Amino acid sequence: MSDTPTPQAAHVTGEPQAPAAFGARLRQAMDTRGPLCVGIDPHASLLADWGLGDDVAGLERFSRTVVEALADRVAVLKPQSAFFERFGSRGVAVLERTVAEARAAGALVLMDAKRGDIGSTMAAYAAAYLDPASPLFSDALTVSPYLGFGSLDPAVELARVSGCGLFVLALTSNPEGAEVQHAVRADGRSVAATVLGHLAERNAAERAAWQGQSRPLGSFGAVVGATLGDALAAAGGSLAIDGPLLAPGIGAQGATPADLPAVFGDAVGNVVPSVSRGVLRHGPDAAALRAAAAKIADDVRVAVK
Ligand SMILES: O=C(O)c1cc(=O)[nH]c(=O)n1[C@@H]1O[C@H](COP(=O)(O)O)[C@@H](O)[C@H]1O
């Protein structure tokens, strides 16, 4: 995607050209491919349904089938690390190949590992996923802000340098999330609203580095479940973070594309709807996987236009 603009600072200083920012690459992918993210979640039950063994060979066939079917057409593929980690180092090796093959085929890869730790350890997690020299290097990473948003700053910084993105859990799709995310702080703001506020600040700082060039979308996104109904109103906070909004929960968790306008309102244009089982259950036939993704993409287009 060589025609994607890069922050001007790289040009004016004469330094080696910085990688294109994730937000710009994501916006271009959303514009050309549509905004859908498909999750690669090799559940044991799906391996069985696909006639595969619950083993490393089954994991590899499953992942490769999804990549071959979809990486040339969806904006984002999101491997869920847990399903690979459960096979130990050989599962992680499959994850490495999955990421590399998906990126080579043109998809942006969002590693769903939901990392979060004290800053010094967070720096190591960031290096694992956001350093171009890492075997697990991905375009973006899901992270948890519940050790305090500032603990994520090493990841924010490495993402900025590497042209990567982060998706920070704000209002998750599961019903249990509300007890933490809706909690109200001493200043009257909910925890979720505070997370969204931090994201708006990080995207504003990134925008400042573009020095007046038009920047399509920030690189620091929020995870906001498509299942939320009117929970956002209850939690308060603004989705106007100038960054992408990953919306899991469509399909197996009960949300539909038609729910997106009500949940996201004016921010719906920045939504990346995310579906895993709702597409994967149509495998292993590649044409059926493509048709399932295309149907959801069509439903999203109709819902958000
Ligand atoms: O970060 C995520 O992707 C995520 C956040 C969230 O709030 N809810 C959520 O379901 N997810 C992930 O999205 C995927 C949902 O899978 P399906 O329910 O099969 O579509 C899983 O990999 C979850 O781990």
Please report the atom of ligand 1 found closest to the CA of residue 114: 1
pLDDT digits (tens, 9 = 90+) for 268-301: 999 999 999 999 999 999 999 999 999 999 999 9
* Long-range interactions of 150-154: CB distance < 8 A, separation 24+: 150/119, 151/116, 151/117, 151/118, 151/119, 151/122, 152/116, 152/122, 153/119, 153/122, 154/119, 154/120, 154/122, 154/123, 154/126
Question: Looking at the annotation, which residues are catalytic?
Answer: 114
pLDDT digits (tens, 9 = 90+) for 128-154: 999 999 999 999 999 999 999 999 999
> Is residue 181 lining ligand 1, measured as CB closer than 6 Å?
no
Could you give the domains of the chain? Answer: 32-304 (3.20.20.70)
pLDDT at 216 > cutoff 80:
yes
Please report the atom of ligand 1 found closest to the CA of residue 250: 20
Of 162, 182, 166, 165, nearest to 174 by C-alpha is 182
- Looking at residue 210, its pLDDT comes to 82
ipTM: 0.99
Bridge partners, 250 (sequence order): 255
CA distance 262 to 157: 33
What's the predicted TM-score (pTM) here?
Answer: 0.94
Pocket test for ligand 1, best of 74, 80, 167, 169 (most atoms within 8 A of CB): 80
Residue 124 has, within 13 A of its CA and on its CB side, a CA count of 4
